[in-house]
Amino acid sequence: MQKIFITFVILFSSSIDSRSYIDYESPYHPVVGNYGMVVSQNYLSSDIGIEILNKGGNAIDAAVAVGFSLAVTLPRAGNLGGGGFMLVYLKEKDEIFYIDYRSKSPLNSNLENIFNISSSDGKKYQVVPKNFDTNKFDVLDTGYKASAVPGTVAGLLDAHAYFGRLKLSEVLAPVIAQAKNGIVVSYDLHKAIESTPRLYDDLESRRLYYKNDSVIEENSILMLPDLANTLSLISKNGKDGFYKGETAKKIIEAMNNNGGLMKLEDFAQYKAEIRSPISTEYRGNKVFTAGPPSGGGITLLTALNILSFFELEKYKSNSIATYHLFSEALRRGHNNRSSEVGDPDYYDVPVDKLLSKERTKELVKSIKYNKASKASSIKPLSITNESRDTTHYSIIDSEGNAVSNTYTLGASFGSGVTIPGTGIIMNNQMNNLMYRSGNVAIEGRGVSPGNRFKPGKRPMSTMAPVMVFDKNNNLSLITGSPGGSYIPGAILRVLTGVIDFNLSIGDATMLPRVHKDWPYTGIDYEKTLSSDIVKGLNRMGHKTSSNKTMGSTQSIHIVDGVRYGYADLRRPNASVSAQTTN
């Protein structure tokens, strides 16, 4: 009888466990693994990252391979012709590094050769005059003048040189083969090209991405032999394979032939910078992100500092109160980046003051529980529209080393320019610098003194790769997102979902997102947000408007040593790839 009872208990317990699993509490299932993991916006690139890990490479080797691979698989955002920010965590040393490889304005650039501005008295303008035709700013959206000096190759190769394990040739071999052999054109890639007429306007881009004057067809093969050759030169010669020699000469020749502003001097002098990440403590967790010229990092940490004054766990993750407080905190975060954030090599950014307790308390005091704030109630620290087409990937290896990397071309396919004979699509990041002067409190970031144009300067960016360490100082979350000014809000929603509401990484990722900037009055919200919440926010005076999806977070959540990877469903073809053995 005792044996029967024991058997019944075992069977009953087993049935409970089985039932609790197969009930599937959430439709958003992360990939679960115990070893290396790569989460990126394209499954082919994620797989290459795992291939590098399986060869014995570490997270940094994999990150370099993924970064170059996305130039093939996600050409509208993955790049050699852009720039970005990377966080690197070395487990054995328990150290975190921030690599700033943001693009830089050409040393030869000035208001006269960018906008054809000249004064009657021969004086050179420092900012564009008040009566300037702002339609001329369009010159910085497309074509050769729109591009800043690219930093991606320097940033990825410095990461490899400082922290990688494999030879560069081993890391780049599968990427070169991918570019040479080609990839199958997905529906998303086909539609992205179709939606970007600037590609047709550039002869070299048209040659690569069109066939018989029509967008390359879905399921056809896109081969990029010129890009494969460029990658081969980098593989053999390192940074000199891009910033000197054949590739640099081709870029400068194309610039000279098309009114561009870059010179060989720009390439010879460009270097990525190793900077200190910025951080804050949130509910006992340490959150690290990119510092200036990242304004997104300032925005995110400011919002976290503000939310730490409110007990969010008292509310549901999808309550009106949560979205109200979230929006007000986010708005003040954007206020903090609007005036004093820029390239730290050119401007003394007061990071400590922006993130101080005094500044946070000042911002918190202007928040009301039941009413939206007015822009005028939020003052910039005493004293443009941004593209969504960026990409992010997160990587961890079996040893616990990790990378969080966000980089961009600016707009989708950047400036639309492909440098002949190289396969390199160029960025349009000159439009991220500010060219006017005025009152930031009234006119917003468009007149930011911290981000005001100067030759050789890195534009402010909202890119904000993130790593979170728990109360025991263990790495617990790697994340980041594309999305322009929507980036901080997308990341903030994931962080608060995991930390405040104890959600799985899948559930936290798929929470409806909102965006509230400054000094603008409205809340943008995703269509999945409940109509009852929208009505409640309107009653508070938030002036809501429905928008597109916001961001595409690629995340790895580590819980009790187990890795849970989740690729945001907001953009197609994103994927988690995981090692099955060590």
Separation CA 202–CA 208 (nearest Å) = 10
d(CA 229, CA 170): 16
Q: Name the 3-class secondary structure at 556.
A: strand
**Residues 485 and 508 sit within 8 Å (Cβ to Cβ):** no
Token couple for 337: 């980046």
**To the nearest 5 percent, what fractions of the chain are helix, strand and coil?**
40, 20, 40
Task: Let me know how many helices (H) and strands (E) the chain has, helices first.
Answer: 21, 23
Say if residue 472 is exposed, middle or buried (CB neighbours under 10 Å; 0-12, 13-18, 19+). exposed
Residue spans of beta strands (DSSP E) within 273-401: 273-275, 278-282, 285-289, 390-396
Rounded Cα distance, 422 and 228, in Å:
8
Q: 432, 426 in Cβ contact below 8 A? A: no
Instruction: Supply the DSSP string of 139-165, one letter for each residue.
Output: GGTSSGGGPPBP-HHHHHHHHHHHH--
Q: Quick check: 49 and 66 in contact, CB under 8 A?
A: yes
Which residue, among 259, 239, 273, has the nearest Cα to 108 in the 3D structure?
Answer: 259
Residue type, 393: Y
Tokens read off for 327: 């929006």
Rounded (5°) CA angle 203-206-207: 85
DSSP 571: S
Distance between CA atoms of residues 194 and 209, nearest Å: 9
245-269 burial, b if ≥16 CB within 10 A, otherwise e? eebbebbbebbeeeebbbbeebbee
Tokens, residue 266: 């720009």
Of 15, 176, 10, the closest CA to residue 80 belongs to 176
Instruction: Please identify which of the residues 152, 196, 384, 390 carries the catalytic annotation.
Output: 390
Can you list the positions of beta strands (E) in 43-157? 83-90, 95-101
The partner residues of 83 in beta bridges, in order of sequence, read 408
Active site residue 390: yes
Length of the chain: 582
Pick the closest to residue 179 from 217, 222, 216 (CA basis).
Answer: 222
With beta carbons less than 8 A apart as the criterion, state whether 61 and 390 touch: no
Three-state DSSP at 490 gives helix
Tell me which residues are annotated as active site.
Answer: 390
